[in-house]
Amino acid sequence: MGSKESGNRTTAARHGPEEISNKDDKVIMKGPWLEEEDSILVDYIQTHGEGHWDFVARCTGLRRTGKSCRLRWLNYLRPGIRHGNFTLEEQLKILELHFLWGNRWSKIAESLNGRTDNEVKNYWRTRVHRQAKLLNCDVNSKEFGDIIRFVLMPRLAEQIRSKSRESSQAADLVSPAISSSSSSNINLVSMDSNGKALIMKRDHTNSLQDQWPSIQHDHHNEDGGGDQVGDEIWNDENVEFLRQQLFGHDDSDV
């Protein structure tokens, strides 16, 4: 995901696991997993299947807790896991689904092929929180939620559409964003010819799905993904755009 480190990160190579005695005086390992531990776990699960994690930990002789084995498998070793940068579509989907479901990371992750809840959560807590801070907003505030839904998301949708057009791909991606559930009306957003957001009040009787069909992701990269360098929604251009929408002027000191 991040540009700083990616791929098969076995941190134990740099800083090994630590032995801890638990309350039963059994030694358990904590910290980064060793490659050897990984292969033991993978071998076991390929033979016996997932589940019964405490049993797995005991049977394999891994001095890990069942929980630790489960986490390592689900977040790292499981087949089909994709690491690397989120694509624009994935980032947009995260914003959309977070609006719908809140911090239901595992539920959101289910909708993103090969991504883990941990990755989605980390994305939200690093990127989104940071941008909220830069915009002087509380990430949980209605103000920030609105600016994401009514300004950033339609803008991204348009960017994705143009990109799809460019690459001659079908791109029936996103319809206008919808307001927070706390509001009695639903705000519909579109953009004027200058790219300025137009926020309109809507009747709340229209269903969410009617107004904003789900983003389609069939076309996204299945073979490793996250390779679209530069597909960062929080780029300078978009952040500046958000600032202008929020504060109505070019204020890069905010």
Partner DNA sequence: AATGCGACCAACCGCCTATCC
Partner DNA sequence: TGGATAGGCGGTTGGTCGCAT
CA distance 106 to 115: 9
Q: Which of 42, 60, 66, 217 binds DNA (CB under 7 A)?
A: 66
According to the binding rule CB under 7 A, does residue 144 interact with DNA? no
Question: Which of these segments, 87-95, 122-130, 172-180, 199-207, binds DNA (CB under 7 A)?
Answer: 122-130
Q: Are 28 and 65 in contact (CB under 8 A)?
A: yes
Cα(63)–Cα(28) distance, rounded to whole angstroms? 5
Q: Please identify which residue in 40, 70, 173, 225 interacts with DNA, judged by CB under 7 A.
A: 70
Residue 135 found at the interface with DNA (CB under 7 A): no
Least Å distance, CB 154 to DNA, is 23
Is residue 112 classed exposed, middle or buried when 0-12, 13-18 and 19+ CB atoms within 10 A define those classes?
Answer: buried
Question: If binding is defined by CB under 7 A, does position 81 make contact with DNA?
Answer: no
φ, ψ (nearest 5 deg) of residue 70? -60, -45
Contact between 136 and DNA by CB under 7 A: the answer reads no
Write out the binding residues for DNA, residues 146-175 only, by CB under 7 A.
none
Distance between first and last Cα of the chain = 27
129: exposed, middle or buried (C-beta count within 10 Å: 0-12, 13-18, 19+)? middle
Q: State the minimum distance, in angstroms, from the CB of residue 172 to DNA.
A: 29
Rule CB under 7 A: is residue 118 a binding residue for DNA? Answer: yes
Distance of CA 15 to CAs 7, 113, 185, Å?
Answer: 17, 31, 54
Instruction: Give the pair of three-digit tokens for residue 189.
Output: 């957003």
Sign of the alpha-carbon dihedral angle for 40, 45, 47, 48 = positive
Contact between 71 and DNA by CB under 7 A: the answer reads: yes
Question: Which residue's structure tokens are 């389609």?
Answer: 216
Interface region with DNA, contact rule CB under 7 A, candidates 113-121, 143-151, 188-196, 210-218: 113-121
- CA pair distance 102, 7, nearest whole angstrom: 28
User: Of these, 89, 90, 96, 119, which contacts DNA (CB under 7 A)?
Assistant: 119
Rule CB under 7 A: choose which of 72, 82, 115, 243 binds DNA: 72
Q: Among residues 41, 44, 45, 68, which is the contact residue for DNA, using CB under 7 A?
A: 68
Binding mask 20-59 for DNA (x = CB under 7 A): ---------xxxxx-----------------xxxxx----
Residue with tokens 């920030």: 144
Total of chain residues touching DNA, rule CB under 7 A: 48
Q: CB nearer to DNA: give 71 or 191.
A: 71
Find, among 190, 194, 177, the residue nearest to 244 by Cα: 194
Instruction: Give the interface with DNA as residue ranges (CB under 7 A).
Output: 1-6, 9-12, 14-15, 17, 29-33, 51-55, 64, 66-68, 70-72, 75-76, 83, 103-107, 117-119, 121-123, 125-127, 130
